[in-house]
Amino acid sequence: MTTVIDGKKVAASVIETVKAATQALATDAGVRAGLAVVIVGDDPASHAYVSSKSKMAKECGFLSIQHTLPEATTQEELAALVADLNADPSIHGILVQLPLPKHLNSEPIIQSILPEKDVDGLHVVNAGKLATGDLEGGLVSCTPAGAMVFVRQTHGEDLSGLNAVVIGRSNLFGKPMSALLLAANATVTTAHSRTKDLAAVCRNADILVAAVGRPEMVKAGWVKPGATVIDVGINRVPAPEKGEGKTKLVGDVAFAEAAEVASVITPVPGGVGPMTIAMLMANTVIAAHRKAGRKPPRF
């Protein structure tokens, strides 16, 4: 019987841990965790994301600050705001919502965030700490951190002897996911569009993580019987069965057929998605604990 991971349920348990840690930090050290979210422009999807992040931050008991900047904001104005937030001792986490409007260059903005406040885990210092196995010193990108919670719940802390395949090599997900699996002693293959006989590589995986952005690319024949399959793809495709012009969300894995072969699988939606905001909250409370010289909670 295949286990379908309920991402909402796991995310809710992460949030409970965050709330308890936030309360304990406030009681023991007099420190309230603070998260600042910056959004530029009018992109509706970005605004929806940001409002759910700000709402969750308030629910966790954080000091939650949102800066909504007009589309015409200059590079210098945005950089000045980040510098102010870096200098603000009440803010432990800074998140600049991507993508930024076309005229702004996101990379220097992201790299100007202090690494210890970079709760998105995108700063090169945090990427470097992860790459060198320093999981205690840096902050890990939220989506791979969330996917890794699923892996640990299924296989435990030590992945010795297990083969893991990550399809995708992006800086946002593929590379940090491979580094996390490697740090947990898995034997890791990072596969991608140029990999020869990708299906055969995937069939060797005890843990298969798909993050390519191609709808239902991973078929049942790619999945090793009994494998754990983590689907990070979010693709909107036509759904004529729902009516003319309707769409639906699907992952990078052909869920129905892969679920017949895998022992554990994540659905889309409702799998990795809910974990991303939960791990953002986790990173913020970790950053606040470190700043206060306290041992942060583990997730």
Quote the tokens at residue 6.
């309920």
Catalytic residue selected from 53, 175, 224, 291: 53
Active site residue 28: no
Residues comprising the chain, all counted: 299
**Which residue among 9, 66, 117, 120 is the active-site one?**
120
**Rounded CA separation 61/19 (Å):** 7
Q: How far is CA 16 from CA 29, 112, 165, in A?
A: 20, 31, 31
Does the annotation mark 97 as catalytic?
A: yes
Tokens 């470190």, residue located: 290
Q: Which tokens hold the place of 150?
A: 């699923």
CA dist 144 and 177 (Å) reads: 5
169 token code pair? 């090599």
Contacts 24+ apart (CB under 8 A), 153-158: 153/5, 153/10, 154/228, 154/264, 155/207, 155/228, 157/184, 158/184, 158/185
Closest by CA to 279, choosing from 175, 120, 146, is: 146
Q: Is 120 annotated in the active site?
A: yes
Out of 19, 66, 88, 97, the active site residue is 97
Give catalytic residues, as residue numbers. Answer: 53, 97, 120
